[in-house]
Structure 1
């Protein structure tokens, strides 16, 4: 099964007191890396969230955003600095008595002073809230998985198209391979005729051709390329994460293509190798997106 590493899922869960929003975003990454951002009172369930997410995500960089709304999410408490308020009151009375200053200091004037009175908010958490967070996370993860699978289907179509063209190029390579030795034999015979005025040493020619044929033989590389293509196709059907394995297979294909390019001294084969390496580069780019 081909699953993309990129995707997005959003879900919301509500109760009479709470409203929880969860957003999950994933992008390409060599391993599975999770980063969860959420209110402090939910930090104790971070490991549970990661465990749940790991059921849906095996590879990729995961960004999770949990937001919390509702009156039930905080408690508020009024704090008054009574000692300081007493001192304020005493000073006001002393100023009135000493300087006979007219004016009225109201209760509102005093309570508006932030150093005298402030409201402290405390975040709270409970079983109901944690249940809502886990529910929203699971729903968002399901939506994310659906998106990753849908994109994975498109990736698979592209991969199969590239592999089909790759198979064609390998077959063409196989056609040209025997002609390389025959062409070398003809060139060698012509050069020797020029040097010895038609008196050819057939044994020497056959020996030279045999040495060249051994060096230029690409049959093993072609066989391995075909095998790798079949392994790639077989791996696409696996239900497990396949990205790393596919990446390894593409590396092995590149190794065989490079070997063929260095062995075969022929323009037709060189052209096929260039085309094959171009296709392998496309494969590699697509494989980087697969879980």
Structure 2
């Protein structure tokens, strides 16, 4: 979701400038910075950004500059008259009257006023500019998203390979456990009850069985692969899937009594964490 785009458009004697920045964020957080003259379009700007960007911390800045050829002094006569009347009254209280110069009057707040620009035309131009800038940002994010999709698909493939390796390893793990326990019991008991021992082994194997965890991991991998092909926001869904995959990998590790299975669990968690970090950049 990290991206930047800018653009500008001319309207009458002004050039309107737009800058958009987005960084990673779990939800949508839109911040808009506008000069007072453009404050009337804030609601339209927020609505348009919200329609096109569903996730990320987004900063939108709009500003304007006057064309050099349009520089002029537009005087507010009413303000000037009030200022001069106030000056006359103040001078009556001064021992040595010092009347303001014309330049002093010109610098007083409110004396100069901007020429009015048609608001409807200005709004239409700003929306056109914002749409264009948003499209540029979306193009940038789409290119980065395509690269991330490739990386995530590669890690999904590796997770699938680890799940297959765990499934192949599990029967041998249970058989090794059975052999070790029988040998140990035989050493300790002169005449072991093998029927009872088989029952205990069956219960232990049930507790150590990770078939369900491996099946769910494979299901989540399939869902991630499917989601990556969708043309809609999938970031939050992928966040949830990463949580579930990490839960299954942790359970696999906690049930493991075999070095190879423990290593598979660790490798799974490393891959899932790498994916989780990359998913923060996906809307």
TM-score, with normalisation over the residues of structure 2?
0.87
Aligned to 2:186: 193
Aligned to 1:98: none
1:42-98, Cα deviation, whole Å (9 max, x unpaired): 212111112222232111111011111116699732626334655798899x97xxx
Judged with a 3 Å threshold, the aligned counterparts in structure 2 of structure 1 residues 91 and 232 are, in CA distance, closer, same or farther, namely closer
Q: Distance in 1 between matches of 2:49 and 2:72?
A: 27
Q: Distance in 1 between matches of 2:100 and 2:235?
A: 67
Q: Distance in 2 between matches of 1:85 and 1:262?
A: 85
Give the number of equivalent residue pairs. Answer: 274
* Runs of 4+ off more than 4 Å: 71-75, 84-92
**Any unmatched runs of 5+ in structure 1?**
96-104
Judged with a 3 Å threshold, the aligned counterparts in structure 2 of structure 1 residues 23 and 231 are, in CA distance, closer, same or farther, namely same
- Between 1:113-122 and 1:144-153, the stretch displaced more is 113-122
Confirm or deny that 1:224 pairs with 2:216. Answer: yes
Larger Rg: 1
1:165-210, Cα deviation, whole Å (9 max, x unpaired): 111111111111111110011101211232245x553323312221
Identify which of 189, 192, 203 aligns with 2:195. 203
TM-score, with normalisation over the residues of structure 1?
0.84
Note the C-alpha offset of 1:150.
Answer: 0.7
Aligned to 1:76: 74
- RCO (CA 8 Å, sep 6+): is it higher in 1 or 2? 1
Q: Distance in 1 between matches of 2:238 and 2:71?
A: 47
Aligned to 1:114: 104
Judged with a 3 Å threshold, the aligned counterparts in structure 2 of structure 1 residues 189 and 283 are, in CA distance, closer, same or farther, namely same
> Which runs of structure 2 are paired with 1:1-291 in the superposition (5 Å)?
5-70=1-66, 76-77=74-75, 79=80, 81-83=83-85, 86=88, 110-111=100-101, 114=104, 118=108, 120-123=111-114, 124-126=116-118, 127-196=120-189, 199-291=191-283
Q: What secondary structure, in the 3-state scheme, does the structure 1 residue paired with 2:54 have?
A: coil
**Any unmatched runs of 5+ in structure 2?**
none
Note the C-alpha offset of 1:112.
Answer: 5.6
Q: Distance in 1 between matches of 2:54 and 2:135?
A: 14
Judged with a 3 Å threshold, the aligned counterparts in structure 2 of structure 1 residues 210 and 60 are, in CA distance, closer, same or farther, namely same
Is residue 85–residue 116 contact of structure 1 (8 Å, CA) maintained in 2? no
Q: Distance in 1 between matches of 2:71 and 2:272?
A: 54
